[in-house]
Amino acid sequence: MNVLLVGGGGREHALAWALSASPLLTKLYCAPGNPGIAAVAELVALDVTDHAAVVDFCRKASIVLVVVGPEAPLVAGLVDDLDAAGIKAFGPTRFAAQLEGSKGFTKDLCRDFGIPTASYERFAAAEPAKAYVRAQGAPIVIKADGLAAGKGVVVAMTLDEALGAVDMMFSGDGPAIASGEDGASVVIEAFMSGEEASFFALSDGETALALATAQDHKRVGDGDTGPNTGGMGAYSPAPVMTPEMIERTMADIIRPTVAAMKAKGHPFKGVLYAGLMITSDGPKLIEYNCRFGDPEAQVLMPRLKDDLLTLLIGTVDGQLKTMSARWHDDVALTVVMAAKGYPDKPQKGTVIRGLEGLAALDQVELFHAGTALKDGELVANGGRVLNVTALGATVAEAQARAYAAVDRIDWPGGFCRRDIGWRAVARERGEPA
Ligand code: AMP
Ligand code: GLY
């Protein structure tokens, strides 16, 4: 069958890599893709915000399944428009994508259906929000509703910081606050302490199938310092997600969410990516994303034993009840190489060399994110540019293999964190993480 993958980052390269290995695949297209994806898919210059153009392309290219990588097209209703045109698409509808697109929607759903998360209130104006902050005290967490590219969350350790965050969010200088359906625009929630983990599950609207776990590194600098980013590296599995913790997450968080969305008349079909805090009371939901993680997909895909395309079609067709997903025991670890200046002002256009030898390395996979071809050379064309993924029997082994590959890359315009996996490596050594 012919498949169209929407997106062009490292996550989509990892998905394209896995899809291209499927015995069910005839031809893979990707819009817009990137030079790395071009090795396994035909790139299509489609404006994916023009849903009619996407539908038109799908008809012409006899596309049987569209796989949507990033959240923006989901929130914009691409899947609704493909559904209406009779074209199968993997990913939630616009309504169901509110699980990611609106923090207020998700918090209300958790409250209404008893899903464990931090207690919260929503506010539409600064003064009542500040009164609530004063009454609750610090630490406390202030979040803008809507997609704010990771910039809409302030974990305030002091009261002053919390009050400042409220003012910032309601001022014109704050992140673009996309307001929820009912206009409330800030969520204030209790601070949770614990270790964070990412959990992935497929949902066909009725049945949830657990996939795998991962841990991301959101800060730009070694030792988890500096500003937040989209993610500087990840590894899978997350050691904190023991089989018992996975079962609790499925029973307390994922299955109730799938049932809640069905009860609301908007079944969720696609991948649920739960950002979890593993507290002393067990797993609690920090947030949902309604797509694969980036860079988490770059560590999930190399560990997946089963056919990705079969699983995605099973999700769209409501067949997950009869399906399973098996994973290699090996650890996968990915190092994100970013353009100097990321996340504030990544420098574009610097030349990247030395990638030729990487393909021959055993247990190493290179995924492209923000790359482009210019005058026959590969150049940086975004913030996060390359992802070097390696497998190993331990986190330490995968880490050593990934950095050995990173060190072969000749890219003076780029940088990476040198400590991806530090927490898990410390654990393997028996040190406190
Ligand atoms: P979010 O965009 O909701 O995932 O929040 C971004 C980051 O803020 C999370 O990855 C956590 O590190 C932190 N965070 C969010 N909510 C809380 C909370 N209630 N307690 C502690 N940390 C939080
Ligand atoms: N790695 C964070 C995200 O995909 O949202």
At 183-233, the pLDDT tens digits run: 447 889 999 999 999 999 999 999 999 999 999 999 999 999 998 899 999
Rounded mean pLDDT of 294-314? 98
Alpha carbon of 118 to ligand 1 centroid (Å): 10
Residue 292 Cα: closest atom of ligand 2: 4
- Here the CATH number for the domain that contains residue 378 is 3.90.600.10
Residues 216 and 299 in one domain: yes
Cα of 226 from ligand 2 centre, angstroms = 17
Q: How far is the CA of 294 from the centre of ligand 2 (A)?
A: 5
Q: Is the residue at 116 inside a domain?
A: no
Using a 10 angstrom Cβ sphere, with 0-12 exposed, 13-18 middle and 19 or more buried, the burial of residue 173 is exposed
Helices marked H in 250-378 — which ranges?
Answer: 255-263, 297-300, 308-316
CA distance 353 to 77: 39
CATH number of the domain that 11 lies in? Answer: 3.40.50.20
Does residue 111 belong to any structural domain of this protein?
A: no
Same-domain pairing of 302 and 201? yes
Q: Are residues 301 and 371 in the same domain?
A: no
Question: 408 pLDDT exceeds 50?
Answer: yes
- Name the domain boundary from 287, 322, 357: 322
Of 288, 305, 322, at which residue does a domain stop? 322
Q: How far is the CA of 143 from the centre of ligand 1 (A)?
A: 9
Q: Say yes or no: 171 and 209 in one domain.
A: no
pLDDT of residue 151: 55
Write the CATH number for 155: 3.30.1490.20
Q: What is the pLDDT of residues 237-281, one digit of tens each?
A: 999 999 999 999 999 999 999 999 999 999 999 999 999 999 999
Closest-CA residue to 406 (of 366, 373, 349, 369): 366
Ligand 1 atom closest to the Cα of residue 193 is 21
Question: Has residue 235 been placed in a domain?
Answer: yes
Tell whether 197 and 300 lie within a shared domain: yes
Mean pLDDT of all residues in 41-48:
97
| Closest ligand to Cα 271 | 2
Residue located nearest, by CA, to atom 12 of ligand 1: 196
Total number of domains constituting the chain: 4
Q: Which residues contact 25 (CB under 8 A, 6 or more apart)?
A: 1, 3, 19, 309
Examine residue 342 and state whether it is found in any structural domain, yes or no: yes
Q: Which domain holds residue 178?
A: 123-183
Closest among 312, 322, 212, 307 to 270, alpha carbons compared: 312
Q: Is 274 in the pocket of ligand 1 (CB under 6 A)?
A: no
Q: Residue range 52-68: average pLDDT?
A: 98
Task: Clarify whether residues 335 and 318 are in a common domain.
Answer: no
Verdict on whether the full-model pTM lies above 0.85: yes
Residue from 286, 287, 288, 296 whose mutation best tests the ligand 1 pocket (most atoms within 8 A of CB): 286
* Res 184: pLDDT: 47
> Across all residues in the chain, what is the average pLDDT?
94
Residue 75's pLDDT is 95
Residues 241 and 345 in one domain: no
CA of 56 to the centre of ligand 2 (A): 30
Distance CA 68, CA 97 (A): 12
> Domain ends where: 165, 183, 201?
183
Do 301 and 365 fall into the same domain? no
Q: Is residue 189 helix, strand or coil? A: strand
| 337 and 390, same domain (yes or no) | yes
Is residue 423, in this structure, part of any structural domain at all?
yes
Domain assignment of residue 100, yes or no: no
Q: pLDDT digits over 154-183, tens only?
A: 999 999 999 999 988 887 555 444 444 444
* Position 112 in a domain: no
Residues 344 and 278 in one domain: no
Distance 153 CA to ligand 1 centre (A): 7
133, 153, 280, 290, best to mutate for ligand 1 pocket (most atoms within 8 Å of CB): 153
Q: Measuring from each residue's beta carbon to the nearest atom of ligand 2, which residues come in under 6 Å?
A: 216, 230-231, 289, 293-294, 296
Could you tell me the pLDDT band of residue 153, with boundaries at 50, 70 and 90? confident
Confirm if 299 and 214 have CB atoms less than 8 A apart. Answer: yes
Is 204 a domain residue? yes
283 and 223 part of one domain: yes
Task: Looking at the structure, tell me whether residues 346 and 303 fall in a common domain.
Answer: no
